[in-house]
Structures are given as structure tokens and as C-alpha cells.
Chains A and B, each alone.
Chain A
């Protein structure tokens, strides 16, 4: 079935990322910012797609995992950033370790959230994951070493095009190869029919928790990249609406379609920028410009219309490496 070699594709993607990175100083800073944001959003969307799209567990708390990764990795580089000296290779090592640590701590949080999901489905799970992300936010808001409600600043900027798109390549490669493996078809079985899967001897509990843990790991990684790009993070940056942003990407792209979700992440990152440009055209009527500033109106109408007419998302079951959908 495979018409491509995943390992080769991963290598190619990494080389491309490194190549693009060489030209980063030539890119307009505004576009550079958008490029990095696209990369981070792809990681977030692809990782939520594992939980919601492939395993069928609806989660409204993905921003919470991102917050855990962002705060933990930022805390590591702020406290241990120069413990191996201030040379670039040493600080970069700490940065990469911090990213990984952020991912692992987020994964541990994912384990914590995954466990109640054993007993809950659909609507309940959505609210519980939302509750967990609110609890994470509440803990951060009360944690003095993390800047509490003031936010955490002074983070050194390490994230560049290479690290971002290396992260994207890793997330896409890891999740795609996982769900396309024999072992990974268990995720799809849990989504399609949990009771039948259980009757066939699949440990549904294990798959659900695993989906949460892996999804949270990559969300934490994205959080680390984000923190070391923006250099300032605030608890409100990881609120309910951020989670909804990610959910919209997954649904728009088509649940269970990695390629579609990646495209949706790109589109939904660029769209607000386009809308911002539209709201700047003074020749447009005031009402139109005002509407363009409210991208959430557009998102919500898109969600409702999609669900009523095309529940499989814009790109349906489109996937990397598959000959036909």
C-alpha cells in the first residue's frame, strides 16, 4: 500500500528544514513569525488528531498540555540555561533537552488526564479535559516560580525554522507511522467501535491512555517551541479558546486525516492574518472591516456548516502516502 518511504521522507523534511533555516535572515520578520506559528500549529493539530481523529476521544484541553510543555521547558532553560557554559552548542543542548523534558512532563500530565477517560465518553470527556486544562491554568496562575498571573518572561529565543520544522517532521512521522502500523490499528478500532474492539481482545483502555500520552507529548513539544520563540508566556495564552483553535483545525482538516489537518493548520494560521489585512483596507465598509476582525464568527459558522453538510471535514480522508482516499 505504501508508495513512499517514511524514513526517507523524514530525512528529506529535516534536510529541508535545515536548508530553509539558512535563509531565515533573508525572510521578512513578519513572514518568519507566521512560518514558525504555522509549524507550531501543525504539531498541535497533528497531535490532537491522534487523540480525536484516530482514537475518537474528544478533547477540549489540548492547550493545557501545551501550557505544561511551554512552562516546564521555559523553567528549565531559565534555571539551567547556562549550566554547561554560555557557548552556543552548550545552550542549544540545554534547549533541546528542555524541549524534550517539556514534552515528557506534558506526557505525564496526559497520563493523568487519560485515566479518567477510561470511564467517560464523548461529551463528558470533552468537559473533563476542559476542566483539566482549567486546573492546569489555575495551578500556573498560583505558582510564583512560574510568574503566576504576571506571565513568565525573559526566555532566550532558541526556536528557529530548523527546530520548528524538525518538530513538525518528527510529529507527523511519529504519529503517521504509529497509526499505520499493525499495533496502531488499535487506535482506529477504538474509534470505530469500542465494544467490538474490546470483544476482539484489544486493550481499549491502554490505547486511549496511550493516545492521550503521545498527543500530550507533542503538544508539550509545541509549547516548548512556542515559549522559546515568543520569549514570553502567559497563562491566558493557553485558555479554552486556544484549545478550540486546535479543535477547529482538526475538524476542518478532517478527523483522522493527517494531511488534511496539516493543511487546515496552515490555512487557519494564515486566515487571521489575511482577515487582519482586510480589516485594514479603509475603502471597505466599516461593518465588513469590523466583521473581519472577529475571526471567531467565521470559525463558528464554518464549524456549524461543516458539521451539517460535511462532517468528514474539508479534506475528508486525505492522507500522506495513500494512493486513494
Chain B
């Protein structure tokens, strides 16, 4: 029982990371109807943005681990990733908007490979140690909690889950309660009608890429708090898992992406804890195939009809 709870906690922390990445997939799919293959690599760039800015930013707060410094690192990584996301859309995807989807998909794969191999060229292929921006330790529970005092919850896990919740709430406000958010929703419902109503499609697309990439960048830094080893290929696996999460929740649906992320994280933790760690990746893909076969619209998505 207590072990099961422990696995759930670990899964929740990992699932939050997937949720943050999955939101980027789902938002871009919502407005452009295509999978941004390079999104997982933006997450990797987020981790490296944190890696390179942390020493300078942490020095502002005395150099040691501090919450204010960590927040600054998080925000700077998010801004850098937002910029990269906008640039990717501007240079690689915008000229192809009227092209067949296969062309765009191949371009996205090309961008993904470029970020990975370029990362290996610039940052080096070997894993690097992410600086300690938060003094991570297990939280001590009072003995009066009975068996629950045996649970291991680290400060890092609390921060990851907490930051994810905050970011999700901010995103919710932006999407539901601002004019830009309304334009985004209009665009995903019907691009032609939206542009007739005066929505600036280019600006909204840039904004969508900026938000999605910023979320991925945040995920990159948050991941590095828990697992301080980062490398240029770390985005492949995380990106694929997050994509599965987005499909599981219903692609195009933002709460669905968050839910899917958490569910995939929990599934992984349970497979690692109770079955066999080597089955972790194949099982996640099996989930994807099953979802696509039996409920392609995902848990929270609405079914979409193919029109001639």
C-alpha cells in the first residue's frame, strides 16, 4: 500500500513534466492541425538554456541554491524557448502553410533532427550535470502520521508539481479570459471564419508557438531539478511520451493534455515499480496504439469528421 502510494507520487511528478510538454503539442495541433515534431527538442533546449543561464542568474542571489534564483532561471529558460519556438514557426513552418501536410511533417522531423544534432555539436554529446538551483532533499514527515511518515517526497517533486499547477492556471486564464486566447480558440474552430472576423492569424500562430514552447522550456528546467543529468537527445523520448499523453487526453484539448500527461506518468511509474523497467517504453506506445484504434478522439476530445 505504502509502496503503491510512493509510486503514485513519483508518477505524478514525472507526469507533470509530460503534461507541460503535451500542452505544446496540443496547442499547436489545435491551431495548425499538425504535429510539431521538434517540440520535444524545445524541451531539451529549455534544460540547456537553464544550464547556461543558471550560473549567472544564481550569482545575483549569492550563488547558492535559492528559490528566487531558481524562479529567475525558470523564467529565462521559458523566454528563450518561446523565442526559439517563434523562430521555428517563422522560418520553417510559415512558408509551408499551404503545402500538403506530409511536407510540413517532414520539415518538422528535419527541424527536430537539426536541434538534436546541432545540440550535440554545440553542447557536446555527453550528459552534463545541471547546476543545483534548489537544495533538493526529502521532506521529513512527523512520526504521528503513522505509515505515511515512511513516504519519500522531495522538495524537488513538490516544486515540480506546484509549478506545473501554477503554469496550468496561468494558461487557463490566458486561453479563456483574454482576447488573444479567444482568438486562439476561434482559430482552432475555423481558421477562415476567424480571419474574416479580423483575427491576425500570423500573430496568433506566433503567440501559440511562444506559449507552447515556453511550457516545454519550463518542463526542461523542472526536469533538471529532479534529474540533474541533461543531454542533447533527452528530448526524443520525453517528446514522444508527451505526444502519447496529448493523444490520450484528446489532441487539441488543453485540459486533456494535462490529464494525459499525468496518466502516462502514473502508468510509467507503476510499470517500473511492479512489472519490469524495460517494458516502460513499449507499453506507453501500446497505449498510444490502443487509444488510436479504439478512441481516436482521446479521453476528453470531441470526435472530428473527415470532410471531402
Contact = CB atoms under 8 A, between A and B. Distances in A.
Interface in B245-263: 247
B92 interface: yes
A9 interface: no
A138 B113 contact: no
Interface residues of A, number: 42
A307 B285 contact: no
Interface string A20-60: 00000000000000000000000000000000000010101
Interface in B7-27: none
Contacts of B170: none
A294 B105 CA distance: 23
A300 B110 CA distance: 5
B96 interface: yes
Contact of B289 (A123, A128, A299): A128
A122 interface: yes
A274 interface: no
Nearest to B117: A296
B102 A122 contact: yes
A63 to B, nearest CB: 14
A291 interface: yes
B282 A139 contact: yes
Contact of B279 (A142, A300, A308): A142
B125 to A, nearest CB: 9
A240 B110 CA distance: 13
- Best-surrounded residue of B96, B99, B278 (most CB of chain A within 10 A): B278
B292 A119 contact: yes
A290 B121 contact: yes
Nearest to A287: B121
Given A116-B292, A132-B285, A142-B279, A297 B114 contact: yes
Nearest to B107: A307
Contact of A122 (B96, B101, B117, B276): B101
Interface string B92-113: 1001100111111111011111
Contact of A303 (B110, B278, B308): B110
B238 to A, nearest CB: 14
Given A130-B240, A240-B236, A291-B121, A123 B34 contact: yes
Contacts of B247: 124, 127
A304 B94 CA distance: 13
Nearest to A255: B102
A268 to B, nearest CB: 14
Interface in A111-158: 116, 119-120, 122-124, 126-128, 130-132, 134-135, 137-139, 141-142, 149
Interface of B: 34-35, 92, 95-96, 99-107, 109-114, 116-118, 120-121, 236, 240, 243-244, 247, 276, 278-279, 281-282, 285-286, 288-289, 292-293, 296, 308
9 contacts: A116-B293, A123-B105, A134-B240, A137-B282, A138-B278, A247-B109, A294-B117, A297-B114, A304-B107
